Amino acid sequence: MVVGERNNGGDLVEKNIRSVSRTIPYKSVWATRGKAMRAQPVVALCEQGHLHVVVCLPELEAEMTGWNPDSEEPSPNRLDAMVWGVTECMGGSFKQAKIWGSV
């Protein structure tokens, strides 16, 4: 499933996905809370050892380990995408999850 945030160009995200394939499962989401707050359940999964990234994604890893939500640094897009994806995959129940790859 592709999850696209509608806040900033979400309609464009879906149009681009649909231009490649009309059959790819797609869900649009709307951010009503800040990134740091949205990330808290996923952070908890990571801290408890229930989320495993099993491919080399150096840019994502840099954002996961280097972003401080209290800083003035730019917003981490890869981290936010991972949070949306994991949240959707977990369906609200926080079981063990593994990220096998990324596009």
**Distance of alpha carbon 84 from alpha carbon 41, whole angstroms:** 11
Token couple for 71: 């800083």
At 52, which amino acid appears?
A: H
Same domain membership, residue 45 and residue 21: no
**Distance of alpha carbon 56 from alpha carbon 74, whole angstroms:** 23
Same domain membership, residue 91 and residue 65: yes
User: The domain containing residue 96 runs over which residues?
Assistant: 33-103
Same domain membership, residue 74 and residue 41: yes
DSSP codes, 52-84: EE-S--HHHHHHHHH--TTSSPPP-HHHHHHHH
pTM of full prediction above 0.75:
no
Evaluate if residue 98 carries a pLDDT over 60.
no
Residues 52-78: pLDDT tens digits?
A: 888 889 999 898 888 888 887 777 888
Same domain membership, residue 83 and residue 50: yes
Same domain membership, residue 60 and residue 21: no
